Amino acid sequence: MITLYDDETSAECHQVRALLGVLGLDFRSVALEEYDTDTDSGRPALVLADDRADPPAVLHDASSALLYLARIYDHDERLLPHDEPAKFAAILDWLAFARALTACAGAARRHESFGDPLDLLPAQQEAHRLLRVMDRHLWFQEQQHEDFLAGGFTLADIACFGDVALCEEGGVSRLDYPAVRRWCDRVKRVPGFPLMSGIFPTAAGLPS
Amino acid sequence: MSAEELLLRAENAWHPVASESDLVHRHVFHGQLLGQELALWRADDEHINVWENRCLHRGVRLSIAVNDGRELKCQYHGWRYANRTAACTYIPAHPADAPARTIRNGTYPVRTSGGMVWTAVGQPTGEPPALGQGLVLRPVPVRARPADVITLLLEQPPALPDAQPPTAKRRGDLVVELESVGFLVVQPMDSDRAVIRGVLSSQGPAGERLRILRHFDAALTRLRDTAQDRAADEAAPAPLLPRYEPVPKHLASLPESSGHHDLPTRVRVVRTWSAGAGVRGLELGPVDDRPLPTGQAGAHLDVALPGGLVRQYSLVNGPGETHHYVIGVKLTPGSAGGSAAVHERVREGDVLAVSLPRNGFPLRRDRTRTLLIAGGIGITPLLAMAQTLEHQRLSYALHYFAAGEADVAFRERLAALGSVRTVTGLDPAATEAELERLLGAAGEDSQVYFCGPPPMLDVARDVAGRTGWPRDSVHFEYFRNDRTLDHSSRFEVVLARSVLNLTVEPGRSILETVRAAGVGVPSSCEQGACGTCRVAVIDGRPDHQDVYLDDEERAAGDSVMTCVSRSLTPRLTLDL
């Protein structure tokens, strides 16, 4: 069984829930506070424990959990294609981009919603800069009839989605990023992709 | 022309707010024009809707709504609005009721030109400029004054790849023509924000399309940086205020649907006792295991009494006291017999039919201090309020005017309260002086609730006016209407939703006439005191004969108590 030590309000945990959902994997969700840590290491943002593996595999970070789950359970390699180097490289870059989003848009949201300490304005400005980059990228993707960040739906979309979809809770409006707003709709329509508090359902898309 | 003048003129002009390709299937686009937020969506029939970006119900943005191809569904309470008209089609909380046709969201006019969707917040003259069908550029948002962006575009017009800068000519306030290249249009989002949109006159060679788009995107991004650098040296202008019309209260909710004296609940008389001189207390419990529908402080019940009368009694219940209803009934000699029926014919163990609790006298809890002033049996709703305020540790004072010590009712409940004062034996003049003293001494951010006999409330209304109380801080509940009613007029009522025209004959009420035609209106006291049969007036002037509406509501003339009030105009159009 896979166990996710989970915080339902966390965009990082949402990344892992989203991948588990898209892969259709059963998992047990346990409140993150239940996870024992020693005082020095502090509490991680999430913990993924997979005791289908022997000895069990344990991960303490959203990106590493995504890479792990994709490598072990995405059998047809759609979410992280190894044999397409350019696409593989782009996805890894988007994973880094997602971490940058967490550090600004995610931090602004945790500051505004949960009171975590932060110098808010620079974080919001950085979030806008990243959203501009994303919006331009996605607009040109649309011009080439591509719906997602790196061609088809991949780990890149899963990693970036949560902090983008929740950024307005951190005072970062998506008004200026229409291509990002359309991408959010498309990601939410991926079968198995979960919602969370603050991420609202969208209408079903065109019947394909 | 100054930047301010330009924005003023922009009110009544067409502006692009999206690219046509932005409005993809089942999506809601979030736009803004001159400070006004917009929700844009394309229906499955390809109609493009440009709406005010808010649900009429709670103001939630419709840009996060679900576009189901025919309607937008608000994320918050599921109100639905139709393609084209923006009329509300369904309110999940009122599943049995058709929303009034008057519940419509604000819409804006729509045109398309140059691959862009155009609209206007004011009254546009003419049509948007014809920009042809070419290659639509990626729009670039800029944090700078729209007028300054135009200046910059004229100063540094972007060129085609490997070409000289074109000649730039201003065409109207916010359009720049790049000679033999295309057009750039500045969308004024706000006083200090704009979007540069553009369309090239030719699609260009197929293989070059992306390269040209990227080239212009880079050029416009550089212009954006320049504009923002220049704007950083100046103080940002104040943002424009959105022009939202407040939604009339009667449109934001629907009347409860029920027949004549809907009495769905059965209660057993658990206990009766003498709660004070001439006051009989009744404790009404459920007849089975199911809990009773909950009332709030200030609510009343309609009770069907032996002999066929239906009367209204306020709940005395405190907060959380949900296992029974407690009412107190004063024996009124010479009344039509309701109080006599309670005193003489109701016995412990009897089963009575009662309505759902209704509240025309709700208790606000957003003021610093609450004054509760009761006269006689008017203590009952105020006792419920006092218990609520006491329990929530909110500041209040209950002043209970009674004829004598023996007349003080519900002594046990009063004894449990921290801030009660009984005032006995005052004549009308002394009562007025005491009210003057109490109301004159109230501090900032106070509110007052009155319930008592009509003569006392009329005096209280005068005193509150004299002592300068704001209207929305003074609340009255009359338990009867002592005015002399005039039933003599004959007039026509038009029921807008039912599409019926009816004549109200002398001696009959609007309520009776409408019900005879098969249109249901809930009612309770049927003497113009409780507010249950209030109906919105769409056209015509009501002849108010009730005691429920206050002076301002009467003057507004947008609602009427159908049980007693009539019409001053030959025709009265009602939202029924």
B18, B25, B141 ranked by CB distance to A205: nearest: B25
Candidates A124, A128, A131, A143, partner chain B, best to mutate (most B CBs within 10 A): A143
Pick the CATH number of B132-240 from 3.30.450, 3.30.1050, 3.30.530, 3.10.350: 3.30.530
Listed as ranges, residues in chain A with pLDDT below 70 are 39, 206-208
**Residue B351 and residue B94: Cα distance in Å, rounded?**
30
Question: Are β-strands B116-119 and B135-136 bridged in parallel, bridged antiparallel, or unpaired?
Answer: unpaired
- Rank B29-43, B334-348, B450-464, B531-545 by mean pLDDT and report only the highest: B29-43
**Separation CA A169–CA A172 (nearest Å):** 7
Any chain A CB within 8 A of the CB of B187?
no
Quote the pLDDT of residue B260: 54
Residues forming a β-bridge with A163: none
Residue in chain A closest to B209 (alpha carbons) equals A143
Q: Which of B66, B213, B217 sits opposite A202 (nearest CB)?
A: B66
| pLDDT per position as a tens digit, B223-254 | 999 999 999 988 888 888 877 666 666 555 54
Tell me if B185 sits within 8 A of B130, measured CB to CB: no
A6 contacts A13 by C-beta, under 8 angstroms: yes
What number of C-beta contacts closer than 8 Å exist between A and B? Answer: 48
Q: Is B25 on the interface with A (CB under 8 A)?
A: yes
The model's pTM? 0.62
Phi, psi dihedrals of residue A201, rounded to the nearest 5°: -70, 155
Token pair in block for residue A141: 């993707």
Q: How far apart are CA B93 and CA B95, in angstroms?
A: 6
Q: Spell out the domain ranges in chain B.
A: 1-128, 132-240, 265-354, 369-478, 491-574
pLDDT tier at B529, thresholds 50, 70, 90: confident
Flag whether residue A181 sits within 8 Å of chain B, measured between CB atoms. yes
- B236 Cβ under 8 Å from any chain A Cβ: no
Which CATH number applies to B369-478: 3.40.50.2300, 3.30.365.10, 3.40.50.11540, 3.40.50.80? 3.40.50.80
Whether A152 has its CB under 8 Å from any CB of chain B: the answer is: no
Looking at residue B258, what is its pLDDT? 42
CB contact under 8 A, A144 and B68: no
Question: Is A205 at the interface with chain B, CB within 8 A?
Answer: yes
Is residue B32 within 8 A of residue B189, CB to CB? The reply is yes
User: Do B67 and A176 count as a contact with CB atoms less than 8 A apart?
Assistant: no
Say how far apart CA B566 and CA B473 lie, in whole Å: 28
- Is the model's pLDDT at B32 over the cut of 80? yes
Rounded Cα–Cα distance for residues B295 and B327 (Å): 12
- CA nearest to B226, candidates B153, B163, B138, B137: B153
Grade residue B256 by pLDDT with cuts at 50, 70 and 90. Answer: very low
Q: What is the pLDDT of residue B259?
A: 44
Residue B261 pLDDT > 70: no
pLDDT band per the 50, 70, 90 thresholds, residue B138? very high
Q: Which chain A residues are within 8 Å of B69, Cβ to Cβ?
A: 203
In this complex, the residue of A140, A178, A200 whose CB is nearest that of residue B64 is A200
Percent of residues, chain A, with pLDDT higher than 90: 88
Asked if B124 contacts B141 with a C-beta cutoff of 8 angstroms, the reply is: no
Average pLDDT, chain B: 89
Residue in A closest to B195 by C-alpha: A176
- Chain A residues whose CB is inside 8 A of the B210 CB are 140, 143-144
- Is a pLDDT exceeding 90 seen at residue B351? no
- Sequence ranges of the domains in chain A: 2-73, 85-188
Is the minimum CB–CB distance between A176 and chain B shorter than 8 Å? yes
Element (H, E) at A6: strand A2-6
User: What CATH number matches the domain at A2-73, 3.40.50.410, 3.40.30.10, 3.30.530.20, 3.40.718.10?
Assistant: 3.40.30.10
Across residues B33-37, what is the average pLDDT? 95
How high is the pLDDT of residue B465?
87
**Does any CB of chain A come closer than 8 Å to the CB of residue B222?**
no
Nearest CA in chain A to B44: A206
Q: Which tokens hold the place of A10? A: 């966390």
> How confident is the model at residue A133, as a pLDDT?
98
What percentage of chain B has pLDDT greater than the value 70? Answer: 95
% residues pLDDT > 90 (chain B)? 56
What is the secondary structure of B392-445 as a DSSP string? TT-EEEEEEEESSGGG---HHHHHT-SSEEEEES--HHHHHHHHHHHHHT--TT
Angstroms from A116 CA to nearest CA on chain B: 26
pLDDT given at position B252:
55
How far apart (Å, rounded) are the C-alpha atoms in residues B237 and B36?
Answer: 16
Q: Do B22 and A178 touch (CB under 8 A)?
A: yes
Distance (Å, whole) CA B146 – CA B15: 12
Cβ <8 Å between B213 and A143: yes
- Whether residue B24 contacts residue B17, with contact meaning beta carbons closer than 8 Å, is answered with no
Instruction: Confirm or reject contact between B213 and chain A (CB < 8 A).
Output: yes
Range with the lowest mean pLDDT among B26-30, B65-69, B309-313?
Answer: B309-313
Which chain B positions have a beta carbon within 8 Å of A140's beta carbon? Answer: 138, 210, 213-214
CB contact under 8 A, B29 and A178: yes
Using a CB–CB cutoff of 8 Å, tell me whether B141 touches chain A.
Answer: yes
Q: Do B22 and A205 touch (CB under 8 A)?
A: no
- Distance, CA of A102 to CA of A107 (rounded, Å): 6
Domain B265-354 falls in which CATH fold? Elongation Factor Tu (Ef-tu); domain 3 (2.40.30)
Say which CATH topology domain A85-188 has.
Answer: Glutathione S-transferase Yfyf (Class Pi); Chain A, domain 2 (1.20.1050)
Q: Which of residues 4-43 of A touch B (CB under 8 A)?
A: none
Q: Is the pLDDT of residue B336 over 80?
A: no
pLDDT tens for each residue of B164-215: 999 999 998 999 999 999 999 999 999 999 999 999 998 878 889 999 999 9
Averaged pLDDT for residues B329-338: 82
Report chain B residues whose CB lies below 8 A from the CB of A136.
138, 217
Cβ pair B67:A203 closer than 8 A: yes
Class of domain B1-128: mainly beta
Banded model confidence at residue B101, pLDDT cuts 50, 70, 90? low
Q: Please give the torsion angle defined by the CA atoms of residues B97, B101, B106 and B109, in that order, rounded to the nearest 10 degrees.
A: 140
pLDDT above 50 for B255: no
pLDDT value of position B398: 96
Domain B491-574 sits in which CATH superfamily?
A: Beta-grasp domain (3.10.20.30)
Question: Region B458-463: what's the mean pLDDT?
Answer: 90
CA dist., res. A128 & res. A13, Å (int): 23
B214/A182 CB distance under 8 A: no
Query: To the nearest whole angstrom, how far is the Cα of A15 from the nearest Cα of chain B?
Result: 21
The pLDDT of residue B357 is: 82
pLDDT digits (tens, 9 = 90+) for A150-161: 989 999 999 999
Q: Is B141 helix (H, G, I), strand (E, B) or coil?
A: strand
Site from A177, A181, A195, A196 to mutate, B interface, most B CB atoms within 10 angstroms: A181
Judging contacts by C-beta atoms under 8 Å, the chain B residues touching residue A202 are: 26-27, 66
Q: Verify whether the Cβ–Cβ distance A139 to B66 is below 8 Å.
A: no
**CA–CA separation, B403 and B410 (whole Å):** 15
B210 and A CB contact within 8 Å: yes
Cβ <8 Å between A175 and B24: no
Preferred mutation among A134, A167, A185, A195 to probe B, highest tally of B CBs within 10 A:
A185
